[in-house]
Amino acid sequence: MSTDQDLNLEKIKAKVQEIKPMPVDVKNRFSVMIPLIKRDGEIHLLFEERAFTLRNQPGEISFPGGRIEDGESPRDTALRETSEELLISEDEIEIFSEGDFVVNPYAAIIHSFIGEIKIDFDKISPSLDEVEKVFTVPLSYFLETKPKSYKIDLRVERNEDFPYHLIPNGINYKFRRGREEVLFYEFDGHIIWGFTAKIARRFVEKLMS
C-alpha cells in the first residue's frame, strides 16, 4: 500500500487517470439482457420465471442475467448469463446497445443490455437449474400499457451502537427517509414487477421518446 511519503503529484495524477468511476458503496453488480425475439411476425420481450429451487427470488419473473464476475464487463455478463440460462449459443444473441441501469437501495447496481434472440422461441429449452420456464410478452403490450405504480417508504432504523454523539443534534439528527416506486405489469397471469418492471418501462420510454 502506498503512503503519503511514496506519493507525489505526478504519481497521484497517474493513478487517478486509471480510475474507472463507480458508485460509492455499491457491493454487488449485476447485468441483465432485455431480449427481443420475433414470434408470429411480432416483436416480443422474453422473460424467465426463476427456478423455485433458487435461494434468491425463487419463482419471480426476471430478464436473463446475473452477477458480474471479477474481470468481466457488464456486457460480457449479460451475454454469458443469457447463453447459460437459455442454453443457446452466444452466436444466437445479438446485443444492440447498453440500456439504462438501476442503482437500488440495497447497495447493488443492475446494468441492462438490449438485444435480439436470433432463434425460434420454440427451440429454447432453458437450464432447469436456474429457470422454471420462459415466456414472451408482445412489445406492443408495453407500448400500450402503463404499469401500476405503488410507493413504499424506506426508513432508517436506529441502532444503539451508532455514535450519535459524533454528529450534530445527536440522537435527534434528522436522517433522510427514502421512497421506492414499485411497478407492476400483469399479463396473461404473469406478474412482472420490481426492478424488472422498471427496466422494461425505461426501455419502452426510450423507444417512445
Residue-wise pLDDT tens digits, 54-78: 888 788 999 999 999 988 999 999 9
Residue 53 pLDDT more than 60? yes
Tell whether the model's pLDDT for residue 2 goes beyond 70: no
The residue segments making up the domain with residue 109 are 24-208
Residue 135 in any domain: the answer is: yes
Report yes or no on 190 lying in a domain: yes
Structural domain includes residue 156: yes
Does any domain span residue 134?
A: yes
Question: C-alpha grid cell for residue 177?
Answer: 427517509
Which CATH number do you get for residue 172?
Answer: 3.90.79.10
Position 6 in a domain: no
**How many domains, the chain?**
1
- The model carries a pTM of 0.85
- If we measure between CA atoms, which residue out of 180, 31, 185, 193 comes closest to residue 106? 180
Residue pLDDT, tens place only, 87-116: 999 999 999 999 999 887 777 899 999 999
Residue 37 resides in a domain: yes
Q: Is 70 a member of any domain? A: yes
Does 1 fall in a domain?
no
